[in-house]
Amino acid sequence: MPQIGGSLAKLVYFTREPGSVVGGGRLNFLNFETDRIDLCINFIQDLKDKQSKLNGSSPGELCVMATGGGAYKFYNRMKEILHVDVIREDEMECLIIGGNCLLPLGFSCVDVYE
């Protein structure tokens, strides 16, 4: 899921461990400067192509979820290049939902904004 702000596009994506038959995997985090957003979109395109080859996914089965102002600013470009649904979500709502998912897992570290 890219979070595209004023200066950085933050990308989080999931990969399975090679040879894994169980549902586990890894979350990967990357940053791209928004003035080089095409690098980010091309990287997502490469991920999409690899996913398609590995799992035979069709374009309708993949989507990009994006938050932040760049989710609106770059919406058309992502949709045209990636040929997938681009779902725009509210950044704060996603942050709260993500935090709520981590709390039951025993993560006690919480950042507070004042």
Q: What are the boundaries of each domain within the chain?
A: 2-16+24-92
Q: How far is the C-alpha of 84 from the C-alpha of 77, rounded, in Å? A: 11
Between CA 81 and CA 86, with CA 82 as vertex, the angle to 5 degrees is 115
Calculate the average pLDDT of the chain: 81
pLDDT at residue 109 in the model: 60
Name, of 36-50, 53-67, 99-113, the range with top average pLDDT. 36-50
Do 64 and 85 touch, CB atoms closer than 8 A?
yes
pLDDT at residue 62 in the model: 77
Whether pLDDT at 1 is above 60: no
pTM for this entry: 0.74
CATH fold of the domain at 2-16+24-92 = Nucleotidyltransferase; domain 5 (3.30.420)
What's the DSSP call for residue 74?
T
pLDDT at residue 18 in the model: 72
Q: Which residues pair with 28 in a beta bridge?
A: 13
Q: How far is CA 55 from the centre of its chain?
A: 19
Do 11 and 70 touch, CB atoms closer than 8 A?
no
Confidence band, pLDDT 50/70/90 cuts, at residue 45: very high
**20/46: higher pLDDT:** 46
Whether pLDDT at 57 is above 80: no
